[in-house]
Amino acid sequence: MKWKRNQKYLPRPRHLYGLFFDNGCCYVGQTVDLKQREQQHRSARGGWQGRRFSFVLLSSMTGTQADAEAHEYAWRYKAFQHGWRIYSKPPGILIRDPRRRTTGYMKSLAAGYAWPEAVPRRSAGAPSSLAWGFFKWLFLYPFLFGVAVIVLQAVVMATL
């Protein structure tokens, strides 16, 4: 069957994939042609500026583009639960909190997914969200607060 140009409204086989980077970040996307999409991402014009990544098939489904987008958000949520930081678009714009745009339906989809064995282990240098949270609250924020107090004291002393 020859597909016409605008087939996003018709149900068809679609694949959800992840690009997993060494820095602990991943990008989740969808396509109807996995090989072509991987070649596009790996090309010089692919937007990732030559960064190395592992291309992993996450799941396949049949549906419209909108259906696949719901699955895409669910996989982002699942990756975030596994400690990956999420890229939205090349060249690496991070999504601060993918849970904000995740609906109950998407969470229920994510609950049914099994994390693929082919996904690489996260690098030791890539902070998990929990470890980064501890670091921020125990060290970074108190340090910044202390610096702000010292600067404020210096300003007050200079005005006296």
Backbone φ and ψ of 113, nearest 5°: -85, 145
Count of alpha carbons within 13 angstroms of residue 123, beta-carbon side: 12
Among all chains, which residue has been given the structure tokens 């692919």? 46
Same domain? For 100 and 144 the reply is: no
Q: How many residues does this entry show for the chain? A: 160
Same domain? For 105 and 77 the reply is: yes
Among all chains, which residue has been given the structure tokens 């937007």? 47
Q: Tell me if 38 sits within 8 A of 18, measured CB to CB.
A: no
Least confidently predicted of 13-22, 45-54, 148-157: 45-54
Residue 73 burial class via C-beta count within 10 angstroms: exposed 0-12, middle 13-18, buried 19 and up: buried
Same domain? For 113 and 135 the reply is: no
Same domain? For 137 and 77 the reply is: no
Same domain? For 100 and 157 the reply is: no
Is the model's pLDDT at 127 over the cut of 60?
no
| Stated pTM of the model | 0.73
Same domain? For 145 and 85 the reply is: no
Q: Give the model confidence (pLDDT) of 49-64 as tens digits.
A: 888 999 999 999 999 9
Range of the domain at 46: 12-125
Same domain? For 51 and 90 the reply is: yes
Backbone φ and ψ of 157, nearest 5°: -65, -35
How many structural domains comprise the chain?
2
